Structure 1
């Protein structure tokens, strides 16, 4: 490719990354982006007096942070895959750079605000470091989602979609909750949010298909993720909602084990969603196989 064509692709890829990173954060930004109240804040303030923060930094919002970061990366990956440029590797990493620029800017701004307002002491240091580690892990997860979804391989793209299905459901739930107001979601919307990850996983697996046989591994991983990730989200939200620094580590470990056992068990509620995803995947794969055989005739 001539240099001007390469430069055009690079610029477009960076723009894709920037435009994908911003909608990823949008469910939080539309709320006014005021930092949530902090247990370790240095002064007594009202919620509306909290400073502007580009991320909802709080131990109660960790799964929300995962959703905001992973959806931004996934959106950039999907855009690159639909584009299918000649210099795919270069374009993918440029798009990743655009997403990382948005997320790194938001991270630096938010943690600067948090650091300025927290009370001093060891607890504040542990809290700050824990949140920072969680946000960095979420950014890495978003980058992995981008690389998988942007890949040429259908199997890798379907794997990436399956891994971000639950965070995407949380992202849509944040949008719906912020637009309708806390506690105002209707029953049909709640039902849609419950089944959305299963529909997404089922559609991705149907598109992926079962041929060659090694794609069965993608089916196994995606269905397992649909079972395990919601349980992890529930466990994290519950445990961190108990004001983690004040609790005994052994008690926390026991609590996590009990919650995971309950949510992963037959009464945890994940079974129907996995069965729905499997039914959609099998039906879609069967239709695709039937269409291929008709084209061969």
Structure 2
């Protein structure tokens, strides 16, 4: 027995015996995956030509087509779009790592995150440098710049959280990641649809699909996650709550920041957000059918899995 324990203690950890060139290959591939995922997230904006949106506080009178190149659509009207662009990149990277399932998982995950961060940080520095160079001076411009920067940093943090959860071995954590990014992914797909079809030219069928896409994603994730063990019910609760709250939050932010009053009193803005949230989260807010669809898909999928499992036992 002692001899057996000695052999087990001496056995190297999985992946520890990999030669240096194999580790280097994994690192390089992980960085490449991160870079490509980061670019994929930004792609709906980059394909438009990536001109900075018109600014209310711009220092000079210019036509929209004369605005400079910007790798991010920096504008108070595009804050939810920025969240979608960033989180889509992180979610894509997490999915790629999960499908890859490398031996040195932790190293690969952080190298992939480094690739995503490299793209998003580069885009952020370039875009804010352009914005800072063109804004008129004054307190309002400073508040506007700082608010946008805080929003982009928060979106980058959300992107990394999506990557870490999505790349986890745990099915529950991966399903949780899908639920948290479902609404931003819906917005990201909507950006593609709008850019490809042109503003106002998206067909009713596509608009209907975009409306229900987050619910479908959440429902499929819940069906895949299942309800066993019982603690996975927490994932169901969080995902359904996110499907209810996040769209309302997006609507509130878009409405308040679209008032064209960047100098608005913060207390008044907070009051407006609370009022709109209360309206959109209420019975007439429209979130009920999407949550019900996600729950129905999840329960039906879980029941089907349980049926198949019992048939295999016979």
TM-score by length of 2: 0.93
Question: d(CA) in 2 for partners of 1:296 and 1:111?
Answer: 60
1:88-109 C-alpha deviation (Å, 9 max, x unpaired): 0000000000000000110010
Q: 1:92 aligns with which of 95, 101, 109?
A: 109
- CA deviation after TM superposition for structure 1 residue 235, in Å: 0.2
Q: For 2:145 and 2:23, locate their aligned partners in 1 and report how far apart those are by CA, in whole Å.
A: 41
The equivalent of 1:203 in structure 2 is: 220
Equivalent residue in structure 2 for 1:226, among 203, 227, 243: 243
2:161 to 144, 153, 178: 144
Q: Which residue of 2 aligns with 1:73?
A: 90
Find 1:115's aligned residue among 132, 137, 145: 132
Q: Deviations over 1:130-174 (max 9, x none)?
A: 101100000000000000000000000000000000000000000
- Answering whether residue 171 of structure 2 is matched by residue 154 of structure 1, we say yes
Asked if residue 126 in structure 1 is aligned to residue 143 in structure 2, the reply is: yes
Map 1:147-296 onto structure 2 (within 5 A). 147-296=164-313
- In 2, Cα distance between the equivalents of 1:58 and 1:45? 16
Q: Distance in 2 between matches of 1:112 and 1:192?
A: 37
Q: Tell me, yes or no, if structure 1 residue 47 matches structure 2 residue 67.
A: no
> Once the 2 structures are TM-superposed, how far is the Cα of residue 186 of structure 1 from its aligned partner?
1.1
Count of equivalent residues: 297
Matches of 2:39 and 2:127, distance apart in 1: 15
Displaced runs of 4+ in structure 1, greater than 4 A? none
Q: Which has the larger radius of gyration?
A: 2
Partner of 1:20: 37
Q: What RMSD, in angstroms, separates the aligned Cα atoms of the two structures?
A: 0.7
Cα distance in structure 2, aligned partners of 1:286 and 1:177: 37
| Aligned-residue offset at 1:254 | 2.0
Instruction: Give the superposition deviation at 1:292.
Output: 1.2
Q: TM-score, normalised by structure 1?
A: 0.99
